[in-house]
Amino acid sequence: MRMTRVAATAAAAVLALTMAACGSDDGSGTGTGTGSGSGNTATGVVGKASSGSLKIGVKADQPGLGLQTGTAYEGFDIEIAKIIAKGLGLQESGIQYVTTVSANREPYIQQGTVDLVIATYTINDERKTKVNFGGPYFIAGQDLLVPSASTITAPEQLAGKKVCSVTGSTPAKRIQENYKDAKLQLFDSYSKCITALAGNQVDAVTTDDIILAGYASQSQYAGKFKVVGKPFSEEPYGIGLKKDDKAGCDKINEILKAAATDGSYKAAWDKTLGASGTAAPELDTSKLTNCA
Amino acid sequence: MSGNPVLYDHPGPRARIRNLALTVVFGLLILAVLYWVYRKFDEKGQFAAILWEPFLKAATWNNFIIPGIEGTLKAAATAMVFALAFGLIFSVGRLSEHRWISVPAGIVVEFFRAVPLLLMIFFISYGVPFLIQKPVPPFWSVVIGLTLYNGSVLAEAFRAGVYSVPRGQSEAAYAVGMRKSLVMRHILVPQAARAMLPVIVSQLVVLLKDTALGYIVSYPELLQLGVNVLSANYGNVVAAAIVVAVIYIIVNFALTSLANYLDRRSQRRGIRPRAIDPGAAMGGGGAAAGA
Amino acid sequence: MPVFSDPANFDMYVSGFMWILKMTGASAVLALVLGVLLAAMRVSPVPVLRWFGAAWVNIFRNTPLTLIIFFCYFGLYATLSISLSDDIDLNNFWLGVIGLSVYTAAFVCEALRSGINTVPAGQAEAARAIGLTFSQTLRIVVLPQAARAVIAPLGSVLIALCKNTTIVGTIGLLEASNIMKQLINDNGDQVILIFLVFAGTFAAVLIPVGYLFGWLANRLAVKR
């Protein structure tokens, strides 16, 4: 008799399982959301925005730029996202933030997981073959973060020094290729690099200056670090969207142009990275992409 | 030989003094090391209030740690169900008399057992979308990766379990006219599942721990939210890692204890088949250490 | 194989797996030694040793390896200032080996303990009857028999260890998983091929090892 009961339990489990599987399929189906049937225009950012919601990919672990603080996100990228959403006629509540990491930004755009990516996203030719870019809304550059007392003032002085960056990132690759004498320590997040810098296990952390400034301005590290301030690359931050969405890209550039003059760009800076005392940069509208 | 005292006599007066001496020496040694670790952490300022204060605030728990635990448990629970189903199906497949079923099932199981989970999850998240032209959400990357690996391990555990059922059981079943599928369903699998219960539960502990690899695809589980995102907010990565490690230990210890309880219970009630060879069972299961 | 025809990429592939092999080798030896000691502690007559063994197993077996490796860098190296080499890669390598060893030792210990349980009580009783001490009983009578029973489980532990070495990549060692990520980043069009080569290399090495241990376990099994 006991055997039968076990078999029945197993059958019930299998049944529950298949039901769970069905339920999950439905879930992921709505997630990709292309089958809503509102035609081709709905796949563009402008169309998506007019339907009342927009999924924007942002970073979750970069203070000052894109930082998840519980259920909310904050930072310069987030403020830019709000400006874009407002320009598209979207309520702030219509923005749905999606955490992205560097490696999944292109796939997320290509496959429609997100509509826009605003996540310290450098415009370059290789990425342009896969996605379209609005912006740039900020020109960053690779720089070094060192302890306040450090004598390092340029990447050439890194020979024999330990420098930390993130596995597989462009800054890490640049150090490997151009500054071979530096000893590279790699982690999976900049937070760990900063902790290692605070403990003197590494002599410098390298990535885009604006990201470094974000970390340096955190209260626990107040006065401990300085950004060297001599960027040795140019990283124009763009807003990523689908390759064929020229209309959306043009619209985004229009919004950025307006933001440069009406003070909202400056306000976005002052509210976030400006807190560290750096004056707001100019948004150079002559550099905006042609969306081709 | 479950009672350890079999290995040594009841201590006489000399042995008792020797044991006491060992206790004192070794105990002091441990305390000394612990004190040294404490001092070093203190020296480096790891006990500074600013690093630990966030854990006194409800917001830290509500925003990061509790959602992290939820993420971990959700992925683990889903993957457990799928892994058990996967294991059941593929163990039966591998035991099939039809070579066109047993050989492919064997290849699948052997392959997924041999590939590091880190590589699997990474591939599912970044490679599979190219194949299916659709994104794989982080949750499913983690769940599918965990299912394939742990399911394969469980398949081997079930198979070893079926072998451990005395042959008389299936012979008797065939003798009363049951067909192969019926024998499998009603006689072999239920007994095998019981025999393998401890192995299964300890594999589930491995699975729960392995959800920690979800952070590589930014799935919001305990390690991602509780260590990476939390420390980006408060700059206290070491303190956060200590807190999260304690949570993992408590949760997994509870599950391990359950495994031990089930083990003892099945032994006491004698429902475990007699002819079980623990070597074969664990060897097939490979449940000992996970990724 | 366009990706791997580039000698630079091929060298990266080889160096990635060399790290995996070295870590597996070093950690396997260390974990085995530690594991045997822990198992001896767990069955010893001294309570504090038993307690220590149990605590070790419960702590390290229940913590994700990712966190243990993390603590090796930020605990052992950063905070306790235990530096094992001046070379950044070698230092991370040895920190990784320590993490893998303390973690794997917990599993070795548990495998051995269940192996000890398979040795019939009469064996140890007879050993005591002829006047052997605890350590003699363990070394001469019980462990040799237990060792044969745990060959298969230890094989599984070894295979798991080899796969676990990929996690040391989180503290920056450029082992196979990091190399795979890097190659995938640089060659987005050949993701499937890259994965199959890396996964296939693991499978090609580990599946035969699994069968070898199965065969050994059968050959050396104590016939009762």
- Closest CA relative to residue A253, chosen from A217, A218, A291, A280: A291
Least CB–CB distance from C152: residue in B1, B249, B280: B280
Question: What is the predicted pLDDT for the residue at B277?
Answer: 38
Query: Any bridge partners for residue A208, and if so which?
Result: A142
Share of chain A above pLDDT 70, in %: 85
Listed in sequence order, the residues at least 6 apart from B143 whose beta carbon sits closer than 8 Å to its beta carbon are B75, B78, B79, B82
Average pLDDT, chain A: 79
Question: What is the predicted pLDDT for the residue at B270?
Answer: 52
Query: Any bridge partners for residue A164, and if so which?
Result: A185, A205
* Helix (H), strand (E) at residue A32: helix A2-32
CB A256 within 8 A of CB A158: no
Question: What is the predicted pLDDT for the residue at B14?
Answer: 86
DSSP string, A141-172: -EEEEEETT----SGGGGTTSEEEEETT-HHH
pLDDT tens digits, one per residue of C95-117: 999 999 999 999 999 999 888 88
Residue B280 has pLDDT above 80, yes or no: no
Distance from C-alpha of C185 to C-alpha of C25, rounded to nearest angstrom: 29
Return the structure tokens found at B206.
Answer: 């491995």
Question: What is the predicted pLDDT for the residue at C52?
Answer: 94
Main-chain phi, psi angles of A25, to 5 degrees: -60, -45
Least CB–CB distance from B288: residue in C74, C111, C166: C111
Res. C32 pLDDT band, cuts 50 70 90: very high
Distance from C-alpha of A139 to C-alpha of A236, rounded to nearest angstrom: 4
Pairing state between β A66-69 and A72-74: antiparallel
pLDDT tens digits, one per residue of B107-148: 999 999 999 999 999 889 888 877 787 778 889 999 999 999
Distance from C-alpha of A61 to C-alpha of A119, rounded to nearest angstrom: 11
For tokens 């880190």, the residue is B118
Listed in sequence order, the residues at least 6 apart from A29 whose beta carbon sits closer than 8 Å to its beta carbon are A35
Contact list, A99 vs chain B (CB under 8 Å): 218, 220
By CA distance, what is B215's nearest residue in A?
A188
pLDDT tens digits, one per residue of A225-245: 888 888 888 888 989 998 888
For tokens 């149990």, the residue is C54
Q: Which residues of C touch A (CB under 8 A)?
A: 73-74, 77-79, 88, 92, 169-172, 174, 178, 181-182, 185, 188
- Closest CA relative to residue C171, chosen from C113, C110, C96, C102: C96
Identify the residue with better confidence: B127 or C10.
C10
Residue A3 has pLDDT above 60, yes or no: no
Question: What is the predicted pLDDT for the residue at B19?
Answer: 87
Same fold, A43-140+235-277 and A142-227: yes
Work out the end-to-end distance of chain C between its first and last CA atoms, rounded to an integer number of angstroms. 53
* Helix (H), strand (E) at residue A78: helix A76-87
CB B247 within 8 A of CB B226: yes
Question: What is the predicted pLDDT for the residue at C205?
Answer: 93
Distance from C-alpha of B53 to C-alpha of B236, rounded to nearest angstrom: 10
Distance from C-alpha of A109 to C-alpha of A130, rounded to nearest angstrom: 9
Return the structure tokens found at C108.
Answer: 């070795």
pLDDT tens digits, one per residue of A159-198: 888 999 988 788 888 898 888 888 899 998 888 899 899 8
Q: How many CB atoms lie within 10 A of CB C96?
A: 29
- State the pTM of this model: 0.85
* Helix (H), strand (E) at residue A207: strand A204-208
Domain ranges of chain C: 16-175
Main-chain phi, psi angles of B129, to 5 degrees: -55, -30
H-type alpha helices, chain B? 13-43, 49-52, 58-60, 66-95, 99-114, 117-126, 128-132, 138-164, 167-175, 180-182, 189-195, 197-210, 222-223, 230-234, 237-268, 278-285
Question: What is the predicted pLDDT for the residue at B3?
Answer: 47
CB B233 within 8 A of CB B67: no
pLDDT tens digits, one per residue of A39-90: 345 568 887 777 888 889 999 888 888 888 877 898 889 999 998 888 888 8
In the CATH scheme, what is the code of domain A142-227?
3.40.190.10
Question: What is the predicted pLDDT for the residue at B4?
Answer: 52
Distance from C-alpha of B117 to C-alpha of B150, rounded to nearest angstrom: 9
Mean pLDDT for the stretch of residues A126-131: 85
Cβ distance A168 to C79 less than 8 Å, yes or no, reads: no
Cβ distance C117 to B223 less than 8 Å, yes or no, reads: no
Share of chain B above pLDDT 70, in %: 89
CB C153 within 8 A of CB C104: no
* Helix (H), strand (E) at residue A133: strand A131-140
What ipTM was estimated for this complex?
Answer: 0.87
Contact list, B50 vs chain A (CB under 8 Å): 220
Contact list, A17 vs chain B (CB under 8 Å): 81-82, 85
Of A120-124, B67-71, B193-197, C198-202, least confident by mean pLDDT is B193-197
Of A20-29, C141-150, C175-184, least confident by mean pLDDT is A20-29
By CA distance, what is B236's nearest residue in C?
C74
Distance from C-alpha of A206 to C-alpha of A191, rounded to nearest angstrom: 12
Cβ distance B114 to C203 less than 8 Å, yes or no, reads: yes
CATH of A43-140+235-277, one of 3.30.70.20, 3.40.190.10, 3.40.50.10700, 3.40.30.10: 3.40.190.10
Cβ distance B288 to C157 less than 8 Å, yes or no, reads: yes
Distance from C-alpha of B14 to C-alpha of B106, rounded to nearest angstrom: 57
CB B232 within 8 A of CB A62: yes
DSSP string, chain C: -HHHHSHHHHHHHHHHHHHHHHHHHHHHHHHHHHHHHHHHHHTSS-HHHHHHHHHHHHHHHTS-HHHHHHHIIIIIITTT-----SSHHHHHHHHHHHHHHHHHHHHHHHHHHHHHHHS-HHHHHHHHHTT--HHHIIIIIIHHHHHHHTHHHHHHHHHHHHHHGGGGGGGT---HHHHHHHHHHH-GGGHHHHHHHHHHHHHHHHHHHHHHHHHHHHHHPPP-
Residue B81 has pLDDT above 90, yes or no: yes
CB C152 within 8 A of CB C217: yes
Q: How many CB atoms lie within 10 A of CB B162?
A: 23
Architecture in CATH of C16-175? Orthogonal Bundle (1.10)
Three-state DSSP class for B134? coil
Res. C223 pLDDT band, cuts 50 70 90: low
Distance from C-alpha of B146 to C-alpha of B210, rounded to nearest angstrom: 7
Fold of B49-285: MetI-like fold (1.10.3720)
Question: What is the predicted pLDDT for the residue at B192?
Answer: 83
Q: Which of A2-6, A92-96, B2-6, C49-53 has the highest mean pLDDT?
A: C49-53
Other chains touching B, judged by 3 or more CB pairs under 8 Å: A, C
Question: What is the predicted pLDDT for the residue at B269?
Answer: 57
Q: What is the DSSP letter of B213?
A: G
Distance from C-alpha of B271 to C-alpha of B287, rounded to nearest angstrom: 21
Residue C94 has pLDDT above 90, yes or no: yes
Domain ranges of chain A: 43-140+235-277, 142-227
Least CB–CB distance from B127: residue in C65, C104, C191: C191
Distance from C-alpha of A129 to C-alpha of C13, rounded to nearest angstrom: 27
Cβ distance C104 to B114 less than 8 Å, yes or no, reads: no
Question: What is the predicted pLDDT for the residue at C105?
Answer: 96
Residue C91 has pLDDT above 50, yes or no: yes
pLDDT tens digits, one per residue of B200-210: 888 888 899 99
Distance from C-alpha of B146 to C-alpha of B128, rounded to nearest angstrom: 15
